[in-house]
Amino acid sequence: MNRTEAIKAIISSLSEEDVALFTTGLISREAFSIRDRAGNLYMLGSMGLLSAFGLGIALNNPTRRVVIVEGDGSALMSLGNFTLIGSLKPKNLCHIVIDNESYESTGGQPTVTNFIDLTQIASASSYSLVDRMGSLDDLSNELLKFLNSTGPVFLLVKVQISNKEEPPRVALPPEEIKERLMRFLKHGV
Amino acid sequence: MISVERFCESLKNRNITFLSGVPCSILKKIINYALNDSQITYVPAPREDSALGVASGAYMCGRASGILIQNSGLGNIVDSLTSFNLIYKVPVLMIISWRGYLGKDAPEHSVMGEKTLDLLEELGISYGVLEEDNLDHLIDVIVSSMNKQKIPGAIVLRRGIVE
């Protein structure tokens, strides 16, 4: 499975009322080009900030599911947030890491997740449910069950580097991305 | 000296009841008060940028929020500020302790102690230093500027000002 397929599967499993947060780089660009929606937030920069931001939303909006989608590079940058999420235990938080073992957005330099297993870090951080998926069939079949489990849940999605053309940049100004999500959080779908 | 009760009540009076932070000895009374006040939510963050992220998420849900950090940690949040809060327009009140004030502190605080206000100035963030007689006025000025510009503002605390 490649990143595009993984993100397509994730987005097609979301409920309309879910908040979905996407990290900087190709993950945001991919999500924007697959299906933009009011409940999406694209964090264009500030790599590593996303999981704390998602936690803040999940804690203050406990009836709405918050899905964090970041890459291995972004997760590695803020491993401390795993411990914070695991200790505060927001039931409505889903943390998904798309792991291609590299910084693909910047030319494919390796990370360290080829031999460091992020699911073990999530387990040690007391997430309620931790899983790993390496095939598109498994992801498509299991994702809904995973999303509907009591959080915080952690899913590692192992993907291959894709050689296809990069998706276009997110064509929304940052302030509009924020205002849109605030309206969505306030008024619902 | 301003009592910690008075300081925290002045935050609560402005509905700033969601706080996250990383401890500093100058802030210990405030953080301990926040931890024990049922009207305040305090999230103990592992890093200053985590605190800013959590507080920013709270703001998205309509909750006025703030962070409590040492000025050394201002270095840890510069990218979050410049690449997120300042361009997405997410205001969070930053309560920042001032280690290294006038150079009278441990050596690790000397550079940031000298540069703290300059750094806030360079980032275009409204700030003020808390004095014995300006608590309510200062918070009003900073919060009003934050609400107008929709970006973070900062209140800087020297040792001993809030006890």
B47 → closest Cβ in A45, A50, A80: A80
Does A146 or A104 have the greater pLDDT score? A146
- Cβ–Cβ of B60/A83 closer than 8 Å? no
The tally of domains found in chain B comes to: 1
pLDDT at position A62 over 70: yes
B103 assigned to some structural domain: yes
Share of chain B above pLDDT 90, in %: 99
d(CA B4, CA B27): 10
Domain A3-187 carries which CATH code?
Answer: 3.40.50.970
**CATH code (residue B120):** 3.40.50.970
d(CA B156, CA B27): 11
pLDDT digits (tens, 9 = 90+) for A83-121: 999 999 999 999 999 999 999 888 889 999 999 999 999
d(CA B15, CA A21): 27
Residues of B in contact with A52 (CB under 8 A): 45, 49-54, 57
Residues of A in contact with B52 (CB under 8 A): 49, 52
- Cβ–Cβ of B51/A52 closer than 8 Å? yes
What is the average pLDDT across A166-180? 95
From A12-16, A103-107, B57-61, B78-82, the region with the lowest mean pLDDT: A103-107
Minimum CA–CA partner of B55 in chain A: A56
Q: How many Cβ contacts (< 8 angstroms) between chains A and B?
A: 106
Question: How does DSSP assign B127-149, residue by residue?
Answer: EEE--TT-HHHHHHHHHHHHHHH
- Quote the ipTM score: 0.97
Q: Is A85 on the interface with B (CB under 8 A)?
A: no
- The whole-model pTM stands at 0.97
B72 assigned to some structural domain: no
B163 assigned to some structural domain: no
Mean pLDDT of chain A: 95
- Give me the residues paired with residue A21 across strands: A41, A68
pLDDT digits (tens, 9 = 90+) for B91-109: 999 999 999 999 989 999 9
Residues of B in contact with A185 (CB under 8 A): 60-62
- B123: CB partners within 8 A, 6+ apart: B78, B81, B82, B86
pLDDT at position A188 over 90: no
Q: Where are the domains of chain A?
A: 3-187
Q: Is B35 on the interface with A (CB under 8 A)?
A: no
Whole-Å CA distances, A130 to A154, B2, B89 = 5, 47, 34
Q: Is B60 on the interface with A (CB under 8 A)?
A: yes
Give the pLDDT of residue A165: 81
Domain enclosing residue B26, as ranges: 4-64+77-157
d(CA A36, CA B45): 31
Structure confidence at residue B124 as a pLDDT band (50, 70, 90): very high
pLDDT at position A189 over 70: no
pLDDT digits (tens, 9 = 90+) for A3-41: 999 999 999 999 999 999 999 989 999 999 999 999 999
- Cβ–Cβ of A78/B79 closer than 8 Å? no
d(CA B73, CA B21): 10
